[in-house]
Amino acid sequence: MLKDIISIIDNSRSILEGSTLLCEYEIQDIVLFSALNQEEIIENILTNKPKLGDKITLEFSIFKLKSLGFFYDKSFFIKNHRYELPSHPIYLNDLKQYLVDTDFYCSYISMVNLINTLLVNSKHSYDDAGTKKLIIVREEKSLFINLNYDSAAVNLLSGKTCEHINTLICILNDENFPDKKNIYLNELAEFCLKYDEDSRFFSLLANFNTFINNASATYDFYLTNFSYNKLKLEIDSKAIEYNQKLQAIINDSQTKLIAIPTAFVFVLSSLDYDKIDTAKNIIAVGGLFIFSMVLQLFVNNQKSAIKFIEENINHYKSTFKNQARTEVEKTFNNVNSEKNKQFDRLIFIEVILWFIPIFTTSLILFLMSFQIGAIVIMFFFLWISSNKIFLKY
């Protein structure tokens, strides 16, 4: 029905009077007109039964229209969705577009996400006649912010400002770096306290780029204020920690991986070479494949552990800039080397793991006079293994 209403309003002259949108309309669909009337989307009082071709001034209730996702303008939309993103399609009549297709949408999302993030990081928040308010306590300062805003405030947000807002949201939502988060919250309190309470939130939005630059500079100063030895000690400690985690990948595997040569020797020694095609031999080979599949799951888990550690290392390094970043990269060279070695060892283990059942199968086929099949199987195994070793996957 929303599409039909949009079509009617877009193709006729409409006037807003109070809470009613007047729209000239020639009835072309009796079913649609009846539905609009029955659901009280239009407020017309009918004295005669409508007919096709009748011209009538439709009296749309803007409050009913909003329940369908139709908003006369951005201002009315913001009043109804100031703090929560809509869960259904929204059409803005003043822009003649669906909300998600407008430039306004990106700024609106940034605004809502910023407010929700500030609420999460506030000491206290409450709702006052539909307007959210919060208090952020930092050291000896208390910052009160009235989170009332309108569509004009959203229009203030340029693409660059939205990027800076999203950056602040990520920082305040990241619990891994509490010092950085605290610095940005302290700077927020310091910056906003310069303005009057009633205009504080609007002033923050209007000068958000200045605020984020000030906060970034404060954090950079905080980092550079570390002594070299203290910074070096922190980085070295982290490098040792990650190095130990990587070494533990293989160390934890030793008790499980010792079963690989044991299984190989046991199966080869228990094969019946006089009657090579016996059920005993086939069951033994099948058991080897099951054994290899089970250990393959363990190897995959170890690979995932290495990738997870690698992501943590990259995230840790991304928190440093300039000279500190150079020092981190230099210190973590050994960690990266150890990571590559451990991954190579897992690949080598994987190749050996599957060599056992493949070789045993090829040996049995060879002794059963299927020499060509045995050679082809081994060839493909060696080809796949060499690719895995060189391509490291």
Task: Indicate the average pLDDT of the chain.
Answer: 82
**Most confident range, picked from 65-79, 136-150, 318-332, 349-363:** 65-79
Q: Measured between alpha carbons, how far is 287 from 29 in angstroms, rounded to an integer?
A: 72
Mean local confidence (pLDDT), 224-230: 57
Q: How confident is the model at residue 311 (pLDDT cuts 50, 70, 90)?
A: confident
Mean pLDDT on 184-200: 88
Residue 171 has a CB neighbour count (10 Å cut-off) of: 19
Q: How confident is the model at residue 110 (pLDDT cuts 50, 70, 90)?
A: very high
Share of the chain above pLDDT 90, in %: 16
Q: How many Cβ atoms are within 10 Å of 242's Cβ, its own excluded?
A: 21
Query: What pLDDT score does 338 carry?
Result: 80
Lowest mean per-residue pLDDT among 37-51, 165-179, 249-263: 249-263
**Nearest by Cα to 287 from 323, 309, 262, 263:** 263
pLDDT surpassing 70 at residue 326: yes
Domain locations along the chain: 2-96, 105-224, 228-391
- The pTM assigned to this predicted structure is 0.54
| Structure confidence at residue 35 (pLDDT) | 85
Distance from the first to the final alpha carbon of the chain: 53
- Which pLDDT belongs to residue 305? 84
pLDDT tens track for 332-344: 888 888 888 888 8
Q: Kindly indicate the confidence band of residue 165, based on its pLDDT and cuts at 50, 70 and 90.
A: very high
CA 258 to chain CA centroid, Å, is 40
- Report pLDDT for 225: 61
337 in Cβ contact with 239 (< 8 Å): no
Q: Residue 83: what residue type?
A: Y
Residue range 266-279: mean pLDDT, rounded: 70
Q: Is the pLDDT of residue 226 over 60?
A: no
Listed residue (355, 263, 248, 262) closest to 306, CA to CA: 248
pLDDT tens digit sequence for 82-98: 999 998 899 998 888 99
Interval 292-316 mean pLDDT: 82
Residue 326 and residue 384 in contact, taking contact as beta carbons nearer than 8 Å:
no
Question: 1 - beta bridge partners?
Answer: none
Reported as a single tens digit per residue, the pLDDT across 351-360 is 887 887 888 7
Instruction: Tell me which of 143 and 316 has the higher pLDDT.
Output: 143
Reported confidence tier of residue 293, pLDDT bands at 50, 70, 90: confident
Task: Report whether pLDDT(65) > 70.
Answer: yes
Residue 144 has pLDDT above 80, yes or no: yes
**Arithmetic mean of pLDDT, 317-328:** 71
Separation between Cα atoms, residue 1 and residue 34, nearest integer Å: 12
Confidence class of residue 276 from pLDDT cuts 50, 70 and 90? Answer: confident
Highest mean pLDDT among 11-20, 199-208, 220-229, 343-352: 199-208
The two tokens of residue 381 are: 């195994």
